[in-house]
Amino acid sequence: MLDELLGLVPETVEPSTDRRFAFYGRCSTEDNQDPETSYRWQRGNAEKFVADGAILEDYFDVGQSRSVPWHRRPEAARLLADLKSHTRGWSAIVVGEGTRCWFGNQFSLVAPRIQAHKVEVWVPELGGRFDSHNVTHSIMMSMLGGLSESERQRVQQRTRASMDAQVLNKGRHQGGRAPYGYIVVDGPPHPNPNRASDGSRLRILSLDVATAPVVQRIFRDYIAGRGDKAIAHELNRQAIPCPSAHRPEQNRHRSQDGWQASTVSAILQNPRYTGYAIFGRWNKHEELLDPDDVAAGHITRLRRSPNHRIIRSKKPAHPAIITVETFTQAQLIRRQRASTGIGARGRLERTRRPSPREYLLRGLLRCDACGRNCQAPGDPDHGQTPHDPCWPLPSPDGSPAANPSRCAPHNRS
């Protein structure tokens, strides 16, 4: 009675039955979780934890990593926005598992915003609501964020080690889009007995009879001396569908605007065409979204992995489109071209920028002296100067050419 007269509420008082909650949970698809199952068990934990209250609103993020700050998660951002609404109907937030909701120092950044609107936070790991004046609670939430971060790192390391071993020893296809020239088909039963009993089968790479010859042609033309841009131009001229046009369902992020030099370059540098399983050529790298605002979180970008992180299977894992010797020869040529100067690279066969004029014989004429493709005359207004001739051309007065060691047909088709 004295506490009541003084307006004090003991910490041992049970939650009142009229307390109304909003539930927040998160599920990441990186570890192949079922979003529906994950939502059910997290919501169930929250309901048991606040059995005397009522959950009125659900906020559940799917496919969001725990390292993403709350304001960049769709449902968490909606929850933060609803804090300002006077008609929200709830006065407390409950979570099913703290490590799924906060990462690192995220709680220390979010909690003040929530408490500023007089909303409580209930966390199962604390056994009740979070009290900002309780030092033990602050320490425990900091430890919870650190545990969440270390758990994520351990899962990443274990998953990567397992996938590396599967590729190295068994040559297993680890998913993703099949390279141009291959298709993904069902293979033998899954090695996991439980999954095999459910009818699951491994996914393996098989030759695509329509595009595998195109890959062989690209390597053949490149070794013969043609450049990436010249190969792409010839494929477009012959109306051969580019990878995104051949399989638009796998390349919805592509514009399907024809072959590009970068597309040809990616094919020439993909060692999977030799029949060996290759894994880890690219890795995810997290960097700060804004170096001046650490609270904005990180953004994930793909970067090429160093050579020691790339895994190759011990033996061939799928049908080869080209031989190892052919691929090695193409890489040696590519390194040789990259190590030369601008002048040497400029003498490689290539196509010029698109021109409004249509040349009917483009790509069909070649020089008998050097074998290079003949091109249209350069346009001085656009900074393109004609190449010097490589075989004698008659001068205007009929006298022999001054320099018979160079080739003129390169710009005189």
CATH code of the domain containing 56: 3.40.50.1390
Gap between the Cα atoms of 245 and 247, Å rounded:
6
The whole model's pTM is what?
A: 0.66
Classify residue 77: in a domain, yes or no: yes
Amino acid (one-letter) located at 284:
K
User: 406 falls in which pLDDT band (50, 70, 90)?
Assistant: very low
* Domain-ending residue, one of 83, 115, 148: 148
Let me know: does 188 contact 202? Beta carbons within 8 Å: yes
Residue 87 within a domain: yes
Please report whether residue 135 resides in a domain.
yes
- Given this model, what pLDDT does residue 355 score? 62
Report phi then psi at 45, rounded to 5: -60, -40
- pLDDT above 90: percentage of residues in the chain: 46
- Using pLDDT thresholds of 50, 70 and 90, give the confidence band for residue 13: very low
408 within some domain:
yes
Query: What pLDDT, on the 0 to 100 scale, is given for residue 360?
Result: 75
Q: Show the domain range for 72.
A: 2-148
Q: How many CA atoms lie within 13 A of 268 on its CB side?
A: 26
Write down the pLDDT at residue 405: 41
Residue 88 domain-assigned? yes
Residue 413 confidence (pLDDT) above 50: no
26: left (phi over 0), alpha (psi -120 to 50) or beta: beta
- Residue 407 confidence (pLDDT): 46
Identity (one letter) of the amino acid at 313? S
Average the pLDDT over 195-218 and give the result: 92
Residue 399 has pLDDT above 90, yes or no: no
Lowest-confidence segment of 179-183, 219-223, 291-295, 342-346 by average pLDDT: 342-346
Share of the chain above pLDDT 70, in %: 81
pLDDT tens digits, one per residue of 249-290: 877 777 778 899 999 999 999 999 999 999 988 888 888 888
Q: Is residue 66 part of a domain?
A: yes
Is residue 385, in this structure, part of any structural domain at all?
Answer: yes
Give the count of domains, the chain. 2
For the cut 60, the answer to whether the pLDDT of residue 327 exceeds it is yes
- Cα distances (Å, whole numbers) of residue 145 to 106, 127, 258: 7, 16, 48
Average pLDDT of the residues of the chain: 83
Q: Which residue has the tokens 């089968």?
A: 201
Q: Which of 189, 209, 210, 211 is nearest to 200 (CA)?
A: 189
314 pLDDT band (50/70/90 cuts)? very high
Reference 331, options 267, 380, 382, 392; nearest CA is: 267
Last residue of a domain, one of 106, 131, 148: 148
Decide if 180 is inside a domain: no
* Domain end residue (candidates: 104, 130, 148): 148
Rounded Cα gap, residues 142 and 105, in angstroms: 7
Residue 375, pLDDT score: 65
How does residue 380 score in pLDDT terms, banded at 50, 70 and 90?
Answer: very low
Are the C-beta atoms of residues 274 and 313 closer than 8 Å to each other?
no
pLDDT at 16 exceeding the cut of 80: no
Q: H-helix or E-strand containing 5?
A: helix 2-6
Residue scoring higher pLDDT (378 or 208): 208
Report which of 231, 227, 228 is spatially closest to residue 217, judged by C-alpha positions. 231
Residue 324: exposed, middle, or buried by beta-carbon count in 10 A (0-12, 13-18, 19+)?
middle
pLDDT digits (tens, 9 = 90+) for 334-377: 998 887 766 555 555 555 555 667 777 776 777 777 766 676 65
pLDDT of residue 326: 96
Higher-scoring residue by pLDDT: 205, 388 = 205
